[in-house]
Structure 1
Amino acid sequence: MKQFRKPHLALLVAAAMAVAGCADDGKDGAPGEPGEPGPPGPGTPPPTVDVTETTHVKVLNFAVEEGQVVYEIEVTDQEGTLVEGLEAAEGKFAAWTERGYVLSRSGEGTLGGYGSMSTEGATLEMGEPGQYTFTLPMENVTAGQEGMLWLRVGDREGPIMRSMPLVVDKPEGTYSTSDATCNACHVDYAAGSRRHASYTAMDIEGEGDLVGGCLVCHNSVSRADENGGYATNTLSKIAHVNHPEKGFERDFTVLNCTTCHETTPLNTSIAGPGCVDCHNPGAPVGPMSPNTDPSFDIRAIHAQKVALPEIEQIRESHYTTTSAPYWDADVTWDSGTGAVCTDLKLFKVEGETETQLNIGDMYAAGELTYAGAYIHGYDGQGITGRAIARGSDQYVARADGTRSICFPQLLAVEGSDGTDFTAGNFMASTRVTVPQTGWVNDDGKDGVSFTTYSVVVSTDYFDVDPAVTAPTFTEVSDFDRRQVVAADSCVTCHNSETNYHKNGSYQNGGWDCVACHNNGQNRNSGGSAPGFGPMVHSMHWGVGSGIGTDDANSATKLNAENCVACHADGIDLYAIPNQYQLARAYHEGTRGMMASPVTANCFACHDSESALNHMVQNGGEIDAVADPLWYTTKSAESCATCHAEGKTFGIEKYHVFER
């Protein structure tokens, strides 16, 4: 007698069959028109189809028996209509062992099993319309054996199209990774172009099961091992070795285990599955040593090795403040006296106590690797460039430990014709970097960085003679910048604090980067467009991609259209400030050019001549000659008219903004 295990998904039964009463004979039509027919009467067979566009499977029952597995299923098409004529089905069973999951191909010591309708003895029988029993012989399977059971029906060529794979059953608590951690980068593996995208699985409740779908073939044990699994690459090797070695994003450390492991790994033996990948590469996978102590978290050991707890402690126990620019008449230079300064303060928090630290003393002792500042022009929500000469700063140590960063003069921002013009307003940014142990030195400036922006001020500086009257600075507003990426979007991949360069941190969606990569910095970063947004788009997905768009772990291969990886709350094209960005011309590389904002971002990826022509025809520009007051000039681009979310050609129809 077969002993079936019921899945969580309930079998729906029509209750109307048990209800006595008058039948529904339909509805009257309008005068001169036929009415609507009522539902089929008792005993009338339900409608069926024998051709599908997509095929859906509901598992009614399943059983792991001696030498075979049995699935009872219901098959419907994209409209929910029952399917007749199904002739193709395949199944897999990866056995749960002391070495983890194993699905052997063949040979002595074979574990688990797999097969299809071409397997000798396999049967696929339909009982009620759309309901089938699929019996698949697996000689190495024993009754009630634990493992991962997998199913797929239909044919790649039709007429009944192949369904998504189903993970029908698996033991609980058998791995510590999750779909959520994988999809932080991959977002929707099935919709991408990566290898085996069509094998992305779901569970019987209709939820995604990416990890299970991969693990059923990429087992815990390599095919190369004795009594090994189905694939040569185990899933853990793909994560631990192949991801970093094949071009993973910069500033990623595989020792930051929580990136992938939501819970502590099950195995604690360095010879067992997962651990052997790094501790003894190429060695056969041995038995696991299960972690039986709930308080023991092996992730913490790896985190300690690369100073992650230290980094977290530094971030939690320090903060900085930045003053508005002000005039200090007592600062002396070879050429005279007086300077425009901003004050950088560093605080340490211990419980309820906050203590201001002495930046000068810490820098001298090597307890800080950087403590500096810039003064910027500012207009609207955009930084319009630096208002100081690079390298002209002087550090003034104050008695309370404050470091004042001072500049001999406040420069006007350079215009398109090489002349200076007065920026609308000004503000300051400061950055301090605290060193930490265990990290690869990156141009002498690695560490935990804190960037802070001051309030915005206006000044009569350009209209006064400081030798006669001290310049004044008047507060205008808080510094504000439109933030459309999630705070943790960058650190999902850039999970270390080695810093890309110049002490920039990946915290808060790349907030630190804006001090240099902004609307007014006339630069071309790695072939990318101007500004922070265009640079990020191009460096990850476009022509400026530093690791190449064809590399396995480039953002392109992680599905370039999956904007939700960074833009968790979508994009409102209407909300983008209509403010130009300074740019070096794309084709000539000359200065004194500007680009309209939406076009600058879109062209970073959509860089064909036809795409650019479309943007230009609708008011976009990438190589426009910059006006003297370029940041107050409004572009004529009308991208939002057609491409804002909800429009006929809204960007959400071509890019993914929902998980």
Structure 2
Amino acid sequence: MMKKHNKSLLALFLVGLFGLSACTFDGSDGKDGVDGTNGTNGTDGTNGVDGTNGQDAGAVVSTVYKASDVTITIDPASSTLAGSGTFALKFTATAKNQAGAVKPLTGISELRVISATAVTNSTDDGPALYWQNNSKAAGNSSTYMYCTLTGTRGSTNTCTLTEDATNPGTYTGTWAHDGAAPIMYAADDLNAPHRIGLRLSYITDTDGNALPDNVLSTMTYIPATGEVGVESGKDTVANQACMNCHGESVTTGGIAASIGHRYQNVQNCVMCHNPSLQPSAADAEEGYVFDLPAMIHRIHAGSHIATEQFKSWGFIQAEGWNEIAYPAPLDQCTVCHSTEEGQTSWEVPTRVACSGCHSNIDWTTGEGHSEYMLAQTDDSQCAACHSTGALAPINAHKVGERKALASLVQVTFTGASVSAGTLTVTADVTVNGALSSDLSVLGVKSTLMGNVDSNGEVHRWGSRPALTSGNFDAGVGKLTLTRALGATENASMYTGTIYVGTEATFCVGSDKKAATCDETADLAYGNPIEVVHNSPVFSTAIGVTTKTKFFDLDTVDAADEGTAARFTDDNRITVAVSKCEACHNSLDVTKGPTHGVYTFDQCMDCHNNDYPGSYHVNAVYKDADGNSQNSGVTFYNRDLVTVVHRFHAGNFDVIEGIYKDADGDVVGFPGVQGDCSACHKEGTSFFADDGGLTSGKRSIAVSGGYISPVAESCRSCHTSASALAHFESNGAITDTLPAGTAILPVESCATCHAQGKSFGIDQFHIIK
């Protein structure tokens, strides 16, 4: 039977054979045909009823690939957007086409207009400068107005939006109804900085799908002069400060983890979230506030002000906000606020702004406002105490102080040697800026010691001498520590490279000197104690900033010349401490008070791939009733990659901070799940040429053996049974059946999932 496509080919061949021009079967040429008459010219294309010439294909765009491809430019000279004049709006809109060329954006059918003024406060209530929403100031219930093609939106009057037929991408908005346009406030100060925001509606991609992000534009200007790009004097928080934790959107360039992808920079938020936006009685009773300074402070204070102590004062933290665990010190104002001149109005506090965190104060009675119970009926006296001096926010909150004071105690290791089975380590010790033989200020007193193999992997020792077990020689501050080889230990421990560091903490007295941690002492950061791993620790203690040293015991002079661990090799570690500190401010936040460690070369002592076991074995989730439920996901290793991934993915054994809910959604992580760039250095390649990890890590120790590191890195987040089956079917060794050796074959993950592959991780994660 002849296949259909062969029949088609035969037909085409016959048509070609018998349709040859003027061929005869007698072998002679036929006569040429007579030329036909010319056809008439076609009419020019039109735009429809107006009869004008149509646009060349590609001259304009009507769809958008991502929100950041759109640029909106308001023409202040042709616009009247403030005061008592007649409303007029003129702007141009452009967008990138598929080739990346900028073209006029045609077909905009609806937009939202928001207007705000930076008002100089003439009253004793509120900050010296505040944002005023002009629609609210004009007495309207809404904070914005619309522009549409018809001049109406349902039963609501809007401005009429018109696109210039001869100049596509240029639009005007006019008001054709009785009365003033909603954003026009007659008593507005036209010499003050104004901010106009436009938000486009019904913008779609080439498939007709609505963009997931709003298309936004903001202009700050002076209406009286038309000067644009002016400083408002009120923008005290930079977008980058928010993006340090919440991530940068790859589609808008704004704050990624904003509410509903709607308003992705601070300049947008303040136009509605200002003193004019007050909660209803019901919202206020539930603890909500909407003025931006108070709202942001209260949101980030989160679970800290949702404690029973705050409840006993009659304070209610709002639903949803009460579970937020802020990842940095709560009192470090400059984590968010600018210190640049002209952007420091936050340094003069108000009752509303301060109440975001200091929610135990009753301003009417003064209860909670110092031991003197200072009642405040307005904000006129706030600056008298809190603008300068010890009670200014930047000083009262000890901004940057803990980082600076961490150097009060320093242990600098200077050498290591072995004789007759005993290791001797020497160090210089300084306390409060001077060489000292007194380490009584230490809370946690441990040292960190172990071997470093030729691949840079660390192998911790089970026992290490405490810093306070050493002896000081005649020279003040010269510490000597000794460690005898254990009866069951192999002498090879004392060959090759070892690492030496500290796990130590101290407290700071009110005199800003290093002090002993004591419940009754007068300490700068208070005296709260918590219990961690069954041991009491001061949650206000500071970690000793000792640099981990590497000593080669096979050399005559083993002074800081050994093989460095891979945790200190920039070419092998893909995460930067600066990336962590962008959100956490300092890693002292997480492990400083309890362990005195906050650098990778300190973390590596426990969190390496040769030290099995974990205090966090079973991941849990929060059910619909708020109770902790075992998810069935178990982990048995302390490897730093696994621990950090699973904690930030909510696969941990706690339901505070970051956790998964009953639907499997991650709650509490401030950024975007899958944004590798939040922690990993730019330009990172996760896979080596052989398909293993760039770090060179080739196995991870677990209880009972070793498992594959590539799959385990992914499995920290991808915890389903199907994912596990996928890993194992592609050669991964998991804790289902660990291997008895640390020398493992490389699983084949990189074949499909290396960067640049069709299913590369860069296709599904954000990698810069």
Q: TM-score, normalised by structure 1?
A: 0.72
Quote the residue 1:258 is aligned against. Answer: 334
Quote the residue 2:10 is aligned against. Answer: none
Distance 1:570 1:297 in 2: 44
Quote the residue 1:18 is aligned against. Answer: none
Which secondary structure does the structure 1 equivalent of 2:671 belong to? coil
Give matches, 1:259-658, under 5 Å.
259-263=335-339, 265-267=344-346, 269-271=348-350, 274-279=353-358, 301-308=392-399, 310-316=401-407, 319-323=410-414, 325-327=416-418, 339-347=422-430, 355-358=434-437, 361-363=438-440, 367-389=441-463, 395-399=469-473, 400=475, 401-410=477-486, 426-436=498-508, 437-439=524-526, 440-442=528-530, 443-445=536-538, 446-457=541-552, 476-481=562-567, 482=569, 483-495=573-585, 497=588, 499-500=590-591, 503-505=594-596, 507-508=598-599, 510-527=600-617, 528=635, 529-544=637-652, 546=654, 547-550=657-660, 556-572=669-685, 573-574=687-688, 575-583=694-702, 591-623=703-735, 630=742, 633-658=743-768
Which secondary structure does the structure 2 equivalent of 1:258 belong to? helix
The answer to whether the Cα contact below 8 Å between 1:594 and 1:626 also exists between their aligned partners in 2 is yes
1:656, distance to aligned residue in structure 2 (A): 2.2
Match of 2:295 among 238, 244, 247: 238
Aligned length: 564
Match of 2:194 among 116, 137, 147: 147
Which structure's relative contact order is higher, taking Cα pairs within 8 Å and 6+ residues apart? 1
Distance 1:362 1:576, change over 3 A: closer
Quote the residue 1:120 is aligned against. Answer: 157
Distance 1:160 1:625 in 2: 46
Distance 1:110 1:268 in 2: 32
Match of 1:95 among 117, 122, 131: 117
| 1:103-161 Cα distance to aligned partner (Å, 9 max, x none) | 37759856995111324251111222221112362265246364321101232689695
1:314, distance to aligned residue in structure 2 (A): 2.8
Distance 1:421 1:287, change over 3 A: same
1:237, distance to aligned residue in structure 2 (A): 2.8
Which secondary structure does the structure 1 equivalent of 2:116 belong to? strand
Q: Which moved more, 1:548-557 or 1:51-60?
A: 548-557
The answer to whether the Cα contact below 8 Å between 2:445 and 2:468 also exists between their aligned partners in 1 is no
Distance 1:487 1:341 in 2: 31
Distance 1:444 1:424, change over 3 A: same
Distance 1:77 1:108 in 2: 34
1:260, distance to aligned residue in structure 2 (A): 0.4
The answer to whether the Cα contact below 8 Å between 2:574 and 2:684 also exists between their aligned partners in 1 is yes
Distance 1:239 1:383, change over 3 A: farther
Distance 2:486 2:419 in 1: 12
The answer to whether the Cα contact below 8 Å between 1:90 and 1:114 also exists between their aligned partners in 2 is yes
The answer to whether the Cα contact below 8 Å between 2:334 and 2:399 also exists between their aligned partners in 1 is no
The answer to whether the Cα contact below 8 Å between 2:159 and 2:174 also exists between their aligned partners in 1 is yes
Which secondary structure does the structure 2 equivalent of 1:244 belong to? helix
Distance 1:303 1:345, change over 3 A: farther
Which secondary structure does the structure 2 equivalent of 1:452 belong to? coil
Distance 1:431 1:59, change over 3 A: same
1:214, distance to aligned residue in structure 2 (A): 1.8
Distance 2:66 2:277 in 1: 34
Distance 1:299 1:110 in 2: 43
Distance 1:581 1:490, change over 3 A: same
Distance 2:716 2:650 in 1: 6
Distance 1:559 1:220, change over 3 A: farther
- Bigger-Rg structure (1/2): 2
Matching residue's letter, 1:569: E
Which secondary structure does the structure 1 equivalent of 2:651 belong to? coil
The answer to whether the Cα contact below 8 Å between 1:89 and 1:153 also exists between their aligned partners in 2 is yes
Distance 1:411 1:449 in 2: 32
1:51, distance to aligned residue in structure 2 (A): 5.5
Distance 1:657 1:291 in 2: 46
1:61, distance to aligned residue in structure 2 (A): 0.7
Quote the residue 2:75 is aligned against. Answer: 61
Matching residue's letter, 1:602: C
Q: TM-score, normalised by structure 2?
A: 0.63
Distance 2:653 2:174 in 1: 50
| 1:1-46 Cα distance to aligned partner (Å, 9 max, x none) | xxxxxxxxxxxxxxxxxxxxxxxxxxxxxxxxxxxxxxx9x98745
1:606, distance to aligned residue in structure 2 (A): 1.6
Which secondary structure does the structure 2 equivalent of 1:184 belong to? helix
Which secondary structure does the structure 2 equivalent of 1:275 belong to? helix
Match of 1:130 among 169, 173, 183: 169
Distance 2:141 2:726 in 1: 58
The answer to whether the Cα contact below 8 Å between 1:323 and 1:455 also exists between their aligned partners in 2 is no
Distance 1:647 1:541, change over 3 A: same
1:578, distance to aligned residue in structure 2 (A): 3.6
The answer to whether the Cα contact below 8 Å between 2:423 and 2:484 also exists between their aligned partners in 1 is yes
1:75, distance to aligned residue in structure 2 (A): 3.2
The answer to whether the Cα contact below 8 Å between 1:71 and 1:135 also exists between their aligned partners in 2 is yes
Quote the residue 2:240 is aligned against. Answer: 180
RMSD: 4.5
Give matches, 1:104-115, under 5 Å.
113-115=143-145
1:184, distance to aligned residue in structure 2 (A): 0.5
Matching residue's letter, 1:375: M
Distance 1:523 1:513 in 2: 15
The answer to whether the Cα contact below 8 Å between 2:501 and 2:602 also exists between their aligned partners in 1 is no
Structure 1 regions of 5+ residues with no counterpart? Answer: 1-39, 202-209, 330-337, 415-419, 461-471, 584-590
Matching residue's letter, 1:477: T
Quote the residue 1:197 is aligned against. Answer: 260
The answer to whether the Cα contact below 8 Å between 1:89 and 1:134 also exists between their aligned partners in 2 is no
Which secondary structure does the structure 1 equivalent of 2:582 belong to? coil
